[in-house]
């Protein structure tokens, strides 16, 4: 225990032992910046953290954690199961350096069968459940939702348009003409017929597709017997569509009513996890995950941490099938059961058809990791090429790419995207609303100076020692010598050094492939058209351009929707609505005199004067 930091960290933990709870709960270890280094759970917090004071028995990873610890935080819970769920939630929130982390945890898409309108709507849904109706899912990805929705439209002809479109139509749309909708908007279907279609859709999404197939087959045969071949062909097409979606949902010839299959495999010390979703006896897709973990951690530990974080913000099914038995399997099962208010069974089958499904998922996990490692090797080679092209001593770990977007200076924004060894780091993307009122419209150089000043002023404040991994190795600027000069001058003013700065411009005639690169103190240069590094840098530049334009458009759309009345003090939604009803438009309100304003419902003399004075200073 020669390391003074390790001794100091152990002393901090011993000091906290004096007041540590003896109840179940969660503990956090924090560094000198206030960053959370580690989140852990315990049945008995005091006994658990005592182990960290015996530093010679700890692996290197935990010794580094103890060495960085300057304070601790404790939260007690009623049960160990509650502690487990709280631990998973805090890990996702703080992303501690020494925990196993689920890096990609986007929300999953669902299919929504809306029932708050007389003509039920079938649509995809992601996010909060604001509408009354049945939510079916989760689906692994949007393509699985689209495929199922496409089938539902072919088979059941429910509307997918929104309420405004439905109520404003005077004639049928293209979906009706290609037999994807029954045309409720113009009375092409009765309410009883439509209700029957809704019931059939619900039956299909709940796994009762066999009954529907029998019904369609009987209807097709009946139409054929009556020599109504056009009607028989319609039922034949609907049967084919059902068969097609079922073929997509088949997997090793096993039927699982409601389960998530979670399988892990390890390649080159890195664990990949594959999740298959089964609902209503149907396979609703799969997704691969690559959690961040130390190479000393075994698969079962990674899988256990993954499950806790995975179900932190999504419902758990009645059955979870695993590729490995977990030490805290019973605790996980009880914690998820308590949260879901129904029994959640967790099993690791070793034989039978369920074991076959798990093995199929595990094979997919291994193949996903092998593909990822191949891509990573390619990425490593590209970053080495970037280092060579820009005369860097080692490949960059973090590249920040910047671009601005505006229309004649309005709604101006700066966009920053970030790339590294694992590709684009979308959680690190940032937008900068240009705030300076001194800039002339369209001053790209001034905008870039503002973006750089704000970005690096914050970095100097939050991470002056460059120990937290937030500092870029390369700044790639979309622009020419002018933008380069703006950036270098700003960083010089702030005293920032050790960052490679490169501007990339389109070159002669703005042709892709003829890009020119500008660096401080160097001659402008180009790369061969066939150089993979050139193509990589183009992709980085294009991603920054896409992000900046998207941010600008979103800001412009928000501004278009704003009303002049939004800026009037004391005018809330009710008064704004009354004014618009009375005058017909915001422009008419702006131009109205005090006497006219007083005539609007709910507008007193004082409020009328306030509104008038706001617009006529």
CATH number for the domain including 8?
3.40.1440.10
Q: What number of H helices and E strands is found in the chain?
A: 20, 18
What beta strand segments (E) does 127-269 contain?
A: 133-136, 259-267
Domain co-membership, 461 together with 532 = yes
In a domain, 281, yes or no: no
Instruction: Quote the CA–CA distance of 91 and 96 in Å, as a whole number.
Output: 6
- Residue 15 pLDDT: 94
**123 and 204 fall within a common domain:** yes
Top-confidence residue, 461 or 593: 461
Q: Which of 559, 590, 607 is the last residue of a domain?
A: 559
More confident residue, 268 or 563: 268
Tell me: pLDDT of 448 over 60.
Answer: yes
Residue 102 lies in a domain: no
Least reliable range by pLDDT among 235-244, 274-283, 440-449: 235-244
Query: Given this model, what pLDDT does residue 511 score?
Result: 60
What pLDDT is recorded for position 529?
86
**Do 333 and 416 belong together in one domain?**
no
Q: What is the pTM of this model?
A: 0.74
Are 308 and 457 part of one and the same domain?
no
Q: Is 254's pLDDT higher than 70?
A: no
Examine residue 104 and state whether it is found in any structural domain, yes or no: no
Among residues 513, 532, 559, which one ends one of the domains? 559
Q: What is the pLDDT of residue 252?
A: 46
Task: Tell whether 136 and 185 lie within a shared domain.
Answer: yes
For residue 63, the model assigns a pLDDT of 93
Q: Tell me the pLDDT band of 563, cut-offs 50, 70 and 90.
A: low
pLDDT over threshold 90, residue 306: yes
Same domain, 234 and 182: yes
Residue 305 predicted with pLDDT over 50? yes
Question: pLDDT value at position 406?
Answer: 77
What are 339-352's pLDDT values in tens digits?
999 999 999 999 98
Answer with the residue of higher pLDDT: 584 or 502.
502
Q: Give the C-alpha separation, 431 to 551, whole Å.
A: 7
Give the residue, 578 or 524, on which the prediction is more confident: 524
pLDDT digits over 320-330, tens only?
999 999 999 99
User: Contact 486/518 with Cβ under 8 angstroms?
Assistant: no
Mind listing the pLDDT tens digit for each residue in 76-92? 999 999 999 999 999 99
The domain containing residue 22 runs over which residues?
A: 4-94
Share of the chain above pLDDT 90, in %: 47
**Tens digit of each residue's pLDDT (9 = 90 or more) over 363-421:** 999 999 998 888 888 899 999 999 999 999 999 999 999 998 877 667 788 999 999 99
| Same domain for 63 and 10 | yes
Q: State mean pLDDT over 278-287.
A: 84
235, 335 Cβ separation under 8 angstroms: no
Distance CA 261, CA 322 (A): 6
Q: Is the pLDDT of residue 490 over 90?
A: yes
pLDDT level of residue 255 (50, 70, 90 thresholds): low
What is residue 243's predicted lDDT score, i.e. its pLDDT?
A: 67
Alpha carbons 3 and 159: distance in angstroms, whole number? 68
- pLDDT at residue 562, rounded to an integer: 64
Is residue 534 assigned to a domain? yes
Q: Domain check: are 475 and 589 in the same one?
A: no
pLDDT at 408 (0 to 100): 64
Whether pLDDT at 227 is above 80: yes
Alpha carbons 285 and 125: distance in angstroms, whole number: 16
Name the more confident of 247 and 86.
86
Same domain for 422 and 319, yes or no, is: no
Residues contacting 145, CB < 8 A, separation 6+: 109, 110, 111, 124, 137, 139
Q: Is residue 202 part of a domain?
A: yes
What 3-state DSSP class applies to 149?
helix
What average pLDDT score do residues 7-35 get? 93
188-212: per-residue pLDDT in tens?
A: 889 998 998 888 888 888 877 677 7
Supply φ then ψ for residue 170, to 5 degrees: -115, -10
Whether residue 410 sits in one domain with residue 535: yes
Specify whether 198 is located in the same domain as 293: no
Specify whether 190 is located in the same domain as 210: yes
Give CA–CA dist 37/526, Å, rounded: 44
Residues 41-53, mean pLDDT to the nearest whole number: 94
Confidence class for position 617, pLDDT limits 50, 70, 90: low
Write the DSSP assignment of 486-531 as a string of letters. HHHHHHHHHT--S-EEEEEE--GGG-TT--EEE-TTS--B---TT-
């Amino acid at each position: 225990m020669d390391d003074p930091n390790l001794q100091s960290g152990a002393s901090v933990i011993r000091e906290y032992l004096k007041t540590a709870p003896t109840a179940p709960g969660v503990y956090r270890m924090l560094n000198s910046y206030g960053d959370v280094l580690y989140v852990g759970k315990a049945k008995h917090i005091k006994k658990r953290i005592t182990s960290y004071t015996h530093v010679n028995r700890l692996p290197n990873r935990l010794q580094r954690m103890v060495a960085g610890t300057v304070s601790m935080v404790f939260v007690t819970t009623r049960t160990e199961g509650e502690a487990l769920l709280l631990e998973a939630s805090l890990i996702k929130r703080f992303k501690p350096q020494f925990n196993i982390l689920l890096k990609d945890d986007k929300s999953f898409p669902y299919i929504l069968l809306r029932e708050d309108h007389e003509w039920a709507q079938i649509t995809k849904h992601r996010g909060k459940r604001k509408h009354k109706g049945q939510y079916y899912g989760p689906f692994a990805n949007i393509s699985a939702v689209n495929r199922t929705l496409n089938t539902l439209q072919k088979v059941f002809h429910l509307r997918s348009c929104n309420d405004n479109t439905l109520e404003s139509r005077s004639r049928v749309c293209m979906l009706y003409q290609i037999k994807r909708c029954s045309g409720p908007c113009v009375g092409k279907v009765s309410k009883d017929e439509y209700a029957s279609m809704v019931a059939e859709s619900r039956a299909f999404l709940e796994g009762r597709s066999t009954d529907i197939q029998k019904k369609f087959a009987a209807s097709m045969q009946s139409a054929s017997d009556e020599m109504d071949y056009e009607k028989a062909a319609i039922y034949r097409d609907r049967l084919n569509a059902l068969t097609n979606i079922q073929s997509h949902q088949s997997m090793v010839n096993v039927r699982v009513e409601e389960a998530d299959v979670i399988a892990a495999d390890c390649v080159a010390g890195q664990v990949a996890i594959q999740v298959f979703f089964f609902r209503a006896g149907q396979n609703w897709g799969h997704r691969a995950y690559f959690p961040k973990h130390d190479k000393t951690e075994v698969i079962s530990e990674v899988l256990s941490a993954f499950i806790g974080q995975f179900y932190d913000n999504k419902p758990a099914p009645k059955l979870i099938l695993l590729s490995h038995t977990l030490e805290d399997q019973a605790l996980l099962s009880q914690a998820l059961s308590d949260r879901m208010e129904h029994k959640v069974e967790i099993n690791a089958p070793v034989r039978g058809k369920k074991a076959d499904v798990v093995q199929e998922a595990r094979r997919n996990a291994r193949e996903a990791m092998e593909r990822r490692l191949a891509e990573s090797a390619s990425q490593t080679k590209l970053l080495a090429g970037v280092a060579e092209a820009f005369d860097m001593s080692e490949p960059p770990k973090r590249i920040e790419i910047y671009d601005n977007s505006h229309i004649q200076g309005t709604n101006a924004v700066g966009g920053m995207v970030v790339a590294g060894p694992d590709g684009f780091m979308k959680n690190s993307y940032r937008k900068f609303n240009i705030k300076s009122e001194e800039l002339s419209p369209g001053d790209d150089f001034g905008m870039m100076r503002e973006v750089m000043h704000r970005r690096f002023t914050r970095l100097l404040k939050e991470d002056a020692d460059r120990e937290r991994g937030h500092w870029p190795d390369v700044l790639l600027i979309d622009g020419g010598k002018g933008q380069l000069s703006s950036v270098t001058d700003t960083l010089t003013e702030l005293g920032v050094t050790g960052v490679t700065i490169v501007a990339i411009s389109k070159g002669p005639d703005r042709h892709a492939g003829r890009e020119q690169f500008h660096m401080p103190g160097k001659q402008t240069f180009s790369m061969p058209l066939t150089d993979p590094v050139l193509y990589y840098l183009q992709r980085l530049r294009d991603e920054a351009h896409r992000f900046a334009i998207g941010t600008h458009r979103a800001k412009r759309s928000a501004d278009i929707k704003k009303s002049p009345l939004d800026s009037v003090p004391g005018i809330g939604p009710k008064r704004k609505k009354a004014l618009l009803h009375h005058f017909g438009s915001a422009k008419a309100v702006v131009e109205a005199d005090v006497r006219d304003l007083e005539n609007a419902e709910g507008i007193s003399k004082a409020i009328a004067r306030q509104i008038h004075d706001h617009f006529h200073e």
